[in-house]
A and B are shown apart, each in its own frame.
Chain A
Amino acid sequence: MSDDSLDLPQGTLDLLILKALSLAPLHGWGVSARLRAMSRERFDIQTGSLYPSLHRLERRGWIKAKWGVTENNRRAKYYELTRRGRDQLATESDAWARLVATVGLVLRTN
Chain B
Amino acid sequence: MLRDLFSDLRFRLRALFRRTDLERDLSDELRLHVDIETDRLVRDGLSPVEARRRARLALGGVEQVREATRDARGVSFIEDALQDLRYAARSLMRRPGFTALAVLTMALGIGATTAIFSAVHTLILQPLPFRDPDQLMNIALVSPATSERPATLDGSWPYPQFLFFRDHQTAFESVTLAGPAGAVNVTGTNAERLGWEEIDAQYLPTLGVPLERGSNFPSAGDSLALAIISDRLWRARYNADPGIVGKSIELEGRSYEIVGVTPPGFLGLSGEADILTPLAVSAAESAGNVLRDGSFVVARRKVSVSRGEAIARVGLVGSALAEAFPSSAVAGAWSVVARDLDVLRLAPIVRRGLLLLFGAVLVVLLISCVNLASLLLSRAEARRREIAVRLALGARRGRLVRFLLAESVLLSLLGGVVSIALAWAGSVALTRVSPNGVLDSARNFGGGIGVVRVSSIHLDSTALAFTFAMAIGVGLLFGSMPAVQTTKPALVDDLKDGAAMAGGARGWLRFTSRQLLVITEVALALVLLAGSGLMIRSLGNLLRIDPGFDARHVLTLQVSVPRDEYNREAMPAFYAELTSKLRALPGATDVAFADCLPLTGFCGGARLQVGDTPPGDGTQLPMVGPRWITPRWLATMHVPLLSGRAFTDADRIGAPKVVLVSATAARQFWPGKSAVGRKVTITMDGFKNAEVIGVVGDVREQLETSSTPDVYLPFAQAPHPDFVVFIRTSGSPSSLATAARKAIWAVAPSYSVYDVQTMSARAGASTARTRYGALLLGLFACVAMVLAVVGIYGVISSMVSQRTREIGIRMALGAGRGGVLRLFVGEGIGLAAAGVVLGLGGALAATRLLRAFVFGVETWDPATYVTTIAVIGMAAALASWLPARRALRIHPTDALRHD
- Check A25 for interface membership: any CB of B closer than 8 A: no
Partner of B33, one of A47, A52, A55, A75: A47
Q: In whole angstroms, what is the CA distance A89 to B11 when docked?
A: 21
Which residue of B8, B36, B64 contacts A59 across the interface (Cβ within 8 Å)? Answer: B8
Instruction: Assess whether B39 is interfacial by the CB under 8 Å rule.
Output: yes
B705 CB within 8 Å of chain A? no
| Residues of A that sit less than 8 Å from B by CB | 27-29, 46-49, 51-53, 55-56, 58-61, 70, 72, 74-77, 84
Q: Take A46-B60, A56-B72 as given contacts and tell me if A77 and B29 are in contact as well, using a CB distance cutoff of 8 Å.
A: yes
**Smallest CB separation, A25 vs chain B (Å):** 14
Footprint of A on B, CB under 8 Å? Answer: 3-4, 7-8, 11-12, 25-26, 28-30, 32-33, 35-37, 39, 58-61, 64-65, 68-69, 71-74
Contacts of B74 in A (CB 8 A): 56, 59
Q: Are B36 and A77 within 8 A (Cβ)? A: no
Quick check: A51 and B8 within 8 Å, CB to CB? no
From known contacts A55-B69, A55-B72, A77-B25, infer whether A28 and B59 are also in contact, taking CB-CB under 8 Å: no
Question: Are B26's CB and A60's CB within 8 A?
Answer: no
Whole-angstrom distance between the alpha carbons of A53 and B69 in the complex?
8
Q: Which residue on A lies nearest to B72, using beta carbons? A: A52
A58 to B12, CA, bound (A): 11
Q: Sample 12 A-B pairs with CB under 8 A, ordered by A number.
A: A29-B37, A48-B65, A52-B68, A58-B11, A60-B8, A61-B4, A61-B8, A70-B32, A76-B32, A77-B25, A77-B29, A84-B3
Beyond A29-B37, A60-B8, whether A52 also contacts B69 by CB under 8 A is yes
Residue among B11, B61, B68 with the highest chain A CB neighbour number at 10 A: B68
Known: A48-B60, A52-B72, A76-B29. 15 other contacts (CB 8 A): A27-B29, A28-B29, A29-B32, A29-B36, A47-B30, A47-B33, A48-B68, A51-B26, A51-B29, A55-B73, A59-B12, A59-B74, A61-B3, A61-B7, A61-B8
Whether B11 lies near A75 (C-beta < 8 A) is no
Q: Chain A nearest CB: distance from B79 CB in Å? A: 14
C-alpha gap A29/B12 in the complex (Å): 24
Check B32 against A28 for contact (C-beta < 8 Å).
Answer: yes
Q: Which of A28, A52, A76 has the most CB of B within 10 A?
A: A52
Distance to closest chain A CB from B116 (angstroms):
52
> Which residue of A27, A56, A72 contacts B39 across the interface (Cβ within 8 Å)?
A72
Nearest CB to that of B68 among chain A residues? Answer: A52
- A52 lies within 8 A of B29 (CB): no
Interface contact B59-A47, CB-CB below 8 Å: yes
Asked if A59 contacts B73 (CB within 8 A), the reply is: yes
| Chain A residues closer than 8 Å to B12, beta-carbon distance | 59
Contact residue among B4, B35, B37, B69 (Cβ-Cβ distance under 8 Å from A51): B69
In the assembly, what is the distance between CA of A19 and CA of B26, in Å? Answer: 23
What A residues does B35 contact at CB under 8 A?
74
Q: Inside 8 A of A28's CB, which chain B residues have their CB? A: 29, 32-33
A84 neighbours in B (Cβ, 8 Å): 3-4
Interface-centre pick from B11, B25, B36, B58 (highest chain A CB count, 10 A):
B36
| Docked pose: A75 CA to B31 CA in angstroms | 10
Q: Are B7 and A60 closer than 8 Å at their CB atoms?
A: yes
Task: Report the minimal beta-carbon distance from A91 to chain B, rounded to whole angstroms.
Answer: 12
Query: Do residues A29 and B8 form an inter-chain contact, with CB atoms below 8 A?
Result: no
Please indicate the chain B residues that have their CB under 8 angstroms from the CB of A70 in the complex.
32, 36
Instruction: Evaluate contact between A52 and B71: CB separation under 8 angstroms.
Output: yes
